[in-house]
Structure 1
Amino acid sequence: MSSASLIFKVKSNWVPPFQLEEMWMSSCQMGPNFPTWLETRTSLRYLDISKSGIVDIAPKWFWKWASHIDRRLIDLSDNQISGNLSGVLLNNTYIDLSSNCFMGELPRLSPQVSLLNMANNLFSGPISPFLFQKLNGKSNLEILDMSTNNLSGELSHCWTYWQSLTRLNLGNNNLSGKIPDSLGSLFELEALHLHNNRLSGDIPPSLRNCKSLGLLDLGGNKLSGNLLSWMGERMTLVALSLRSNKLIGNIPPQICWLSSLIILDVANNSLSGTIPKCFNNFSLMATIGTKDDSFSVFEYYYDYYYYRYTRAPNYENLMLVIEGKESEYKSILKFVRSIDLSSNDLWGSIPTEISSLSGLEFLNLSCNNLMGTIPEKMGRIKALESLDLSGEIPQSMKNLSFLSHLNLSYNNFLGRIPSTTQLQSFDAFSYISNAELCGAPLTKNCTEDEDFQGIDVIDENEEGSEIPWFYIGMGLGFIVGFWGVCSALFYKKAWRHAYFQFLYRVKDWVYVAIAIRSTGSTLI
């Protein structure tokens, strides 16, 4: 009955006259009360009542009922179910309690659990008791998501007990301390989210041991130290976000080895030096909509049975600042192509090699110490939707027909804004605080010198030319016309006599007209 938009309304004391092995009722409205009739379903192995409009406390019997060894999947996600799970034992293979109102300390796990999603709840307290718990056997946990809760404390050095993990998300909590070296023992790890906590210290070099790592999100912490060159050795990295930390030093050229990288975000740090010229090695940023095996990091399935009924994967998420707004990207993450190096101490010029990334959609290099001009070939990145730069505005930027966000404010731009429907469609706030900039949509008009500056740069591949052919043609026309008349009078004697006789008659007519007018005035 999943996704059928049906209302399943029964009496609170209803006892079904049948047993079930599988129950798939996602998005089927059965709330607001918790379905108490589940207690008599002793044969149920798969239970999916997500998005079912339940606003109630989970009854005490439910967790004992759910912990039965035959219960393979429990999915209560996207409801408003509450209850304290402190001390509760979770014993199912796949457990999804995300986006509810559960509270208390974290529950206990059995070795049987393969997936545990408790994101977007009200869990609190230190995380270490959960990580240090003794399991009656080897852990089979592959996917752990406890993001967006109120968990606190330090990440303990016990990750060697969880070596089966492939995806770990502890973002949006109050975790503190250093990232432990033992995280490097998660050899099968594909995605790691520790964003928006209070973690400090260096990025542990032991993460180089995670040879399958495809997504690394450590943004929004207090991490210090340098960008480590080993990151370039992780050829599987597709998305790297380290924004809003305290990282220093240069951007290592080894990062250009990441040919599969489609998202690079190191904004709002203290990075210095120049932008590496090898960014054109990000080959997947030169394509749009290309499918690649490395994109499998962005989506995953629980198991065959879950896919059989839902027909939809689960998606990794990443917070990106696009067009000045922070937004969450999930299902479309694999289609994003983004580079954000803004708010650092980078200097030098913008390398022309960036212009070869024709599939790049979002580029932000603003709030640095960059000098020189914007590369003239930047107009070739025709997929650009958001652009934040500093420098001089090249004429080729009028080719960026997909731009929906432009920020050139608070720089030292000069000359005329190139005339194009695209660039004139943005309001004046996109260009403010550029004293030498003129032309629409600004109110400052351009002088002749500024007009010349605005057309001085010409792209060798641009159709047409910015040379003022009208004035050149007018000058050539005058020269040809003047010498054409003079040559005809010189070689044709009869034409020359007629021409001068005409001039004499005109002179006499003017003389007589003036004389008559002056005589008439005197008589009056």
Structure 2
Amino acid sequence: MLKGVVSEVHFSNLTSLKYFYASGNQLTLKASQNWIPPFQLESLSLRSWSFGPKFPSWLCSQRHLQSLDISYTGISDVVPPSFWNLSSQFQILNLSHNLIHGEIPNSPVVLSALVIDLSSNHFKGPLPCISSDVYVLDLSNNSFSGSISHVFCFKVNEQKYIRYLNLEKNLLSGIIPDCLMKWNYLEVLNLGNNNFSGSIPSSMGSLTSLRSLHLYNNTFSGTLPSSLKNCKELVIIDVAENRFAGNIPSWIGQRCTSLMILNLRSNYFHGHISKELCALASLQILDLSHNKLSGSIPRCVKNFSAMATNNISDDHLNSISYSGFGETLPLESAWLVIKGNIFEYSTILQLVKSIDFSKNSLSGKIPIEVTSLQGLHYLNLSYNLLIGSIPENIGAMGSLESIDFSLNQLSGQVPSSMSSLTFLNHLNLSNNNLTGKIPLSTQLQSFDPSSFIGNELCGPPLTNNCTTNGVKPNIRSKDTGGLEVDWFYVSMSLGLVVGFWGVCGPLLFNKQWRMMYFQFLNRIGYKLKSVVLL
């Protein structure tokens, strides 16, 4: 928690200084642009200091610097070319979370540090070429544009040792080139939130070490290639918000047995939900929303073992990390739609358990097997064609924080067990055919009335009382075996019977009355006829 100003004077006698670690403080470094330090550093970590707005040009004098972290330091300048000439000497280079702009020269510079993090800046222009020695490369959240072919196909026959490549949130476009055969060590590939198009090349199946694939929010099309079944180590498949089509491949459940996140949201997948997916015992997040899926929800969802327990799974989602300056930084994250909003999860990603089947054409009943997923936090089945009642023992899903069953054709009553969901903070049962009284509990009555509209429900939080305002209580008679009795229809039936026999009965059984009645009708007929003739 150190504060204050550090100037050139503080370093004037430190001629032997090689390692300087002071990250996480609120110090400001004041040094002139012409300052040449009396030392030659090997490692420097000043994350969260205040350097800006100028890039510290004195760094260009450090000919032995191997590790540098000046992230979050408020630099809003162009990196001088002389600094890029030093890139070959770095092992760790972290300039992330600044406002650095300009282009990274491609010639003669080739980024070659083991760990390179230039994320969350304003870099633009084409992507720089990278050395085969790079282990971690993060260029996300910048304004890089153009193709990625020269990156993937640079020295195409040379083995690449990179494990982590993050190009997320840029302006990159074009296709993924079909030259991934030498990227066997790649474990994380993130191309999300760009302008890529075309289909996934078959050489993607050569990435046999791949654990995490993020292609979300592009315009990829076609089907998921069968060659991906060779990527048996996959833990995350996120291809949301693209134009993929076809059936959900059965090989996902058969070959990717370690999968923890499957996100196919907002594509054109059709057909039934494959029962092979139920073999994914480690699955924690399943998002198939906004597609064209039909058929019923498979009863085998009970086999999602990781969702059936409150236990925290092994931290496979954050096992991809790099260490530097005495700390280990996780490199995995995912964008998830929770309660209608999109959030990025990183450090707590392994804690989230969710199922989202919304906005499809799923039919049939909600299988009672869903309620065995007692570790589930978020359940969204809205905008489908589901019928039947809400499973009575839904209250057994004690970890649920959000339920959305809106815009279906569900009927019956709101299960009383739902009142025991103490962690529930979002509920939407609107626009169904639910009837009866909303169960009393502190939890259910705390929700907005809009959570229940479009049904025949009554009681708090709705304003209509269950015995007034046109909402009729469900009267159950002991003498009728529990059948509901509506006295309006009973009285109407009795009135019809009494009226019929009161008028027609005497005519049927009394001949004199019957003759007088028909003579009366004849006289009325003659009078009406004479009026018409006149």
- State the alpha-carbon separation in 2 of the partners of residues 264 and 291 from structure 1: 16
2:93 aligned partner, one-letter code: I
Matches of 2:211 and 2:375, distance apart in 1 = 25
Matched-pair contact (CA < 8 Å) for 1:156–1:180 = yes
Amino acid at match of 1:316: E
In structure 2, the partner of 1:442 is 462
The whole-number CA distance in structure 1 between the counterparts of 2:458 and 2:362 is 27
In 1, are the aligned partners of 2:381 and 2:404 still within 8 Å (CA)? yes
Aligned to 1:173: 194
Match of 2:321 among 283, 297, 301: 301
One-letter code aligned to 2:90? R
User: Residue 176 of structure 1: CA displacement?
Assistant: 0.3
Q: Return the match for 1:131 from 134, 152, 163.
A: 152
Alignment of 1:317 onto 2:333: yes
| Superposition deviation, residue 451 in structure 1 | 4.0
Which of 362, 366, 370 aligns to 2:386? It is 370
1:146 matches 2:162: no
1:271 CA drift (Å): 0.5
- Following TM superposition, by how much is the alpha carbon of 1:369 offset from its aligned partner in structure 2, in angstroms? 0.5
Partner of 1:49: 70
* Aligned: 1:29 with 2:46: no
Q: TM-score, normalised by structure 2?
A: 0.81
Kept in 1: contact 2:306–2:313 (CA 8 A): no
1-side partners of 2:433 and 2:150: how far apart? 55
3-state SS of 2:286 partner: strand
1:394-451: CA deviations, max 9, x gaps? Answer: 11111111111111122222211111111110111112222x1221111222139854
Aligned to 1:105: 126
Other-structure match for 1:398: 419
Q: What is the alpha-carbon distance in structure 1 between the residues aligned to residue 234 and residue 372 of structure 2?
A: 27
Length-normalised TM-score, structure 1 = 0.82
Partner-residue secondary structure (3-state), 1:396:
helix
Aligned equivalent of 1:16, options 37, 46, 62:
37
Q: What residue in structure 2 maps to residue 387 of structure 1?
A: 403
Tell me what 2:219 maps to.
198
Residue number in structure 2 paired with 1:515: none
Aligned residues: 447
Q: Is the 8 A contact 1:299 1:313 kept in 2?
A: no
**What is the identity, as a one-letter code, of the residue corresponding to 2:417?**
S
The Cα shift of 1:453 comes to 7.6
Question: Which stretch has the larger CA shift, 444-453 or 221-230?
Answer: 444-453
**CA distances 1:116-157 after superposition (whole Å, capped 9, x unpaired):** 100000001122232222268421111100010000011111
> Quick one: distance in 2 between partners of 1:405 and 1:331?
23
RMSD, aligned α-carbons: 1.9
The CA distance in 2 between the partners of 1:155 and 1:447, in whole Å, is 64
Q: Which residue of 232, 237, 247 corresponds with 2:259?
A: 237
Partner of 1:519: none
Gaps of 5+ in 2: 1-21, 479-534
After superposition, where does 1:389-428 map in structure 2 within 5 Å? 389=405, 390=408, 391=410, 392=412, 393-428=414-449
Structure 2 counterpart of 1:277, one-letter code: R
**How far apart are 1:291 and its partner, in Å?**
3.3
Return the alpha-carbon distance in structure 2 between the equivalents of residues 57 and 248 of structure 1. 49
Could you tell me the percent identity over the aligned residues? 47
Whichever residue aligns with residue 251 of structure 1, its letter is I
Which residue of 2 is the match for residue 264 of structure 1?
286
Verify: 1:333 aligned to 2:358, yes or no. Answer: no
Residue 461 of structure 1: aligned partner: none
Q: In structure 2, what is the Cα distance between the partners aligned to 1:257 and 1:179?
A: 25
CA shift digits 1:254-313 (9 cap, x unpaired): 111111111000001001111011111111112224232xx323342224xx1xx25242
Maintained 8 Å contact 2:60/2:83: yes
2: distance between equivalents of 1:310 and 1:430? 49
> Quick one: distance in 1 between partners of 2:401 and 2:348?
15
Q: Distance in 1 between matches of 2:284 and 2:472?
A: 39
Q: Which has the larger helix fraction?
A: 1
Task: Decide which moves more: 72-81 or 132-141.
Answer: 132-141
